[in-house]
């Protein structure tokens, strides 16, 4: 008989040690991935895209996560809906294109036809006792927040969205995300478990050896002190960096930027993080030469040279400069497969000719291409019979916290 998920997670948690990477099964096992889908991934509000992907009635896109496919579709000027892409007849998927426009959702198998509100409106030759009202598409929780489309796969009532994210409102408003437009998208599917993708993003210990372009845009002292979160570096480096950071915060606040950190504890529902800091001296934007690739974004009236990292959850991140923002979507697909997508946003008023896309994506396209390679190499090594959990450095504090958060989703802690 196979082991119950709770017994399995208890056994595995007992084998973990705080301050060390996780045992192999966490990164490789199909059963752990199933448990993660149920207890972690499926319970969170996950960023799936930007509302500008569905501007017109009937516009839709598919969001794939684990074995699930969600149709995100515009029902009307004021409503965007989300449905599981599963026909209520015999279960065929209904949409197979990544995106498109459909006045109605028609299953290609036997042509059951659904409205944009998910109701079944036509099914041929059905018995008299068949009730269309009981056979609408199954809805997925959706929330559009400042232009950002969030989904929650939970079967029951999900954790309250506004209670969870309401305090982020001023900063999202300042960045003008609701009215932003997509300037570029990049896809970096990564042959690795989602935890490795997240852990890599949550530390900058690897930045110096792996990311020459990224390091060219940031002061070394800031990478060490706060490279992966408000206090993710060694304590002395954090203390040394603070006076400079506070001076920048004052100047940025004077220009209208909402200042403040969020650094959720390991027992929080979403492990949110908000950190703002300045780019390297003289670098107005994260570009090769530090000059802006696009007009100012959102409510800004002047650049302050800052950079924001906002994490809604380990799966959903934003990095934003004065002139562009990048949505990072880390989407688990299977035990050894994760989708990594970046969506570059610019101000909604910025004309095509005002945005230099090559310049804008130079830094993070290179960085994420490198992250894909190092994360896949990490996974490949972990698959070895000789892999043993290894000790974390003083620059990997956010990874240790992420692991405590992850185990807490199961009511567990490192060591059991």
Which spans of this chain sit near Fe ion (rule: CB under 5 A)? Answer: 371
**Cβ contact 395:227 at 8 Å:** yes
**Can residue 87 be called a binding residue for ligand FES (CB under 6 A)?**
yes
The helix/strand/coil state of 66 is coil
Binder of residue 90, out of ligand FES, Fe ion, none (CB less than 5 to 8 A by kind) = ligand FES
**Cβ contact 180:345 at 8 Å:** yes
> Which residues fall within 8 angstroms of residue 211, CB to CB, at 6 or more apart?
366, 367, 370
Query: By C-beta, is 164 or 370 nearer to Fe ion?
Result: 370
Nearest approach, Cβ of residue 211 and Fe ion (Å): 6
**Cβ contact 182:352 at 8 Å:** no
Nearest approach, Cβ of residue 155 and ligand FES (Å): 22
**Can residue 109 be called a binding residue for ligand FES (CB under 6 A)?**
yes
Nearest approach, Cβ of residue 133 and ligand FES (Å): 17
**Max CA-CA distance within the chain?**
76
**Closest C-alpha among 412, 313, 309 to residue 364:** 309
Nearest approach, Cβ of residue 341 and ligand FES (Å): 29
Query: By C-beta, is 90 or 388 nearer to ligand FES?
Result: 90
Nearest approach, Cβ of residue 405 and Fe ion (Å): 20
**Closest C-alpha among 195, 221, 215 to residue 366:** 215
Q: How many CB atoms lie within 10 A of CB 380?
A: 13
Query: By C-beta, is 84 or 202 nearer to ligand FES?
Result: 84
- Report how far residue 114's alpha carbon sits from residue 272's, in angstroms, rounded to the nearest whole number: 37
**Can residue 210 be called a binding residue for ligand FES (CB under 6 A)?**
no
Indicate which single residue of 11, 104, 110, 119 sits in contact with ligand FES (rule: CB under 6 A): 110
**Closest C-alpha among 92, 89, 85 to residue 127:** 89
The helix/strand/coil state of 363 is helix
Nearest approach, Cβ of residue 128 and ligand FES (Å): 19
Query: By C-beta, is 339 or 371 nearer to Fe ion?
Result: 371
**Can residue 336 be called a binding residue for ligand FES (CB under 6 A)?**
no
**Can residue 119 be called a binding residue for ligand FES (CB under 6 A)?**
no
**Cβ contact 221:242 at 8 Å:** no
**Can residue 47 be called a binding residue for ligand FES (CB under 6 A)?**
no
Nearest approach, Cβ of residue 278 and Fe ion (Å): 20
Q: How many residues bind ligand FES (CB under 6 A)?
A: 10
**Can residue 141 be called a binding residue for ligand FES (CB under 6 A)?**
no
Which residue matches tokens 């991935």?
Answer: 33
- Report how far residue 142's alpha carbon sits from residue 53's, in angstroms, rounded to the nearest whole number: 15
Binder of residue 11, out of ligand FES, Fe ion, none (CB less than 5 to 8 A by kind) = none
Instruction: Using CB under 6 A, list all residues that contact ligand FES.
Output: 87, 89-92, 107, 109-112
């Amino acid at each position: 008989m196979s082991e119950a998920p709770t017994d399995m997670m208890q056994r595995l948690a007992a084998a973990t040690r705080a301050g060390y990477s996780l045992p192999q099964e966490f990164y490789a096992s199909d059963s752990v991935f199933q448990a993660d889908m149920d207890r972690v991934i499926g319970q969170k509000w996950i960023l799936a895209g930007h509302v500008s992907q569905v501007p017109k009635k009937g516009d839709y896109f598919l969001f794939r996560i684990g074995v699930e496919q969600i149709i995100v579709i515009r029902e009307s000027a004021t409503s965007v809906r989300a449905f599981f892409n599963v026909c209520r007849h015999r279960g065929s998927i209904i949409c197979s294109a990544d995106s498109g426009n459909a006045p109605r959702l028609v299953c290609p198998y036997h042509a059951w036809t659904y409205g944009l509100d998910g109701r079944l409106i036509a099914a041929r030759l059905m018995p008299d006792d068949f009730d269309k009202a009981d056979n609408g598409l199954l809805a997925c929780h959706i929330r559009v927040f400042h232009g950002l489309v969030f989904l929650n796969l939970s079967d029951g009532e999900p954790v309250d969205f506004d209670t969870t994210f309401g305090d982020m409102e001023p900063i999202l408003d300042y960045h003008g995300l609701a009215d932003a437009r997509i300037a570029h998208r990049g896809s970096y599917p990564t042959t690795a478990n989602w935890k490795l993708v997240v852990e890599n993003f949550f530390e900058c210990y690897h930045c110096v050896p792996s990311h020459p372009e990224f390091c060219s845009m940031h002061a070394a002292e800031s990478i060490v002190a706060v490279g992966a979160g408000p206090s993710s570096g060694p304590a002395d480096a954090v203390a040394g960096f603070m006076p400079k950071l506070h001076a920048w915060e004052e100047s940025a606040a004077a220009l209208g930027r909402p200042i403040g950190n969020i650094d959720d504890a390991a027992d929080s529902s979403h492990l949110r993080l908000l950190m703002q800091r300045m780019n390297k001296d003289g670098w107005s934007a994260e570009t090769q030469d530090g000059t802006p690739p696009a007009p100012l974004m959102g409510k800004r009236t002047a650049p302050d040279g800052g950079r924001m990292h906002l994490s809604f959850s380990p799966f959903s991140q934003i990095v934003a400069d004065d002139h562009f923002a990048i949505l990072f979507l880390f989407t688990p697909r299977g035990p050894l497969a994760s989708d990594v997508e970046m969506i570059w946003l610019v101000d909604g008023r910025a004309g095509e000719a005002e945005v230099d896309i090559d310049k804008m994506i130079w830094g993070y396209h290179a960085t994420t291409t490198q992250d894909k390679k190092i994360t896949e190499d990490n996974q490949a090594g972990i698959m070895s019979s000789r892999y043993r959990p290894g000790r974390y450095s003083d620059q990997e504090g956010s990874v240790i916290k992420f692991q405590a958060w992850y185990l807490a989703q199961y009511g567990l802690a490192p060591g059991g």
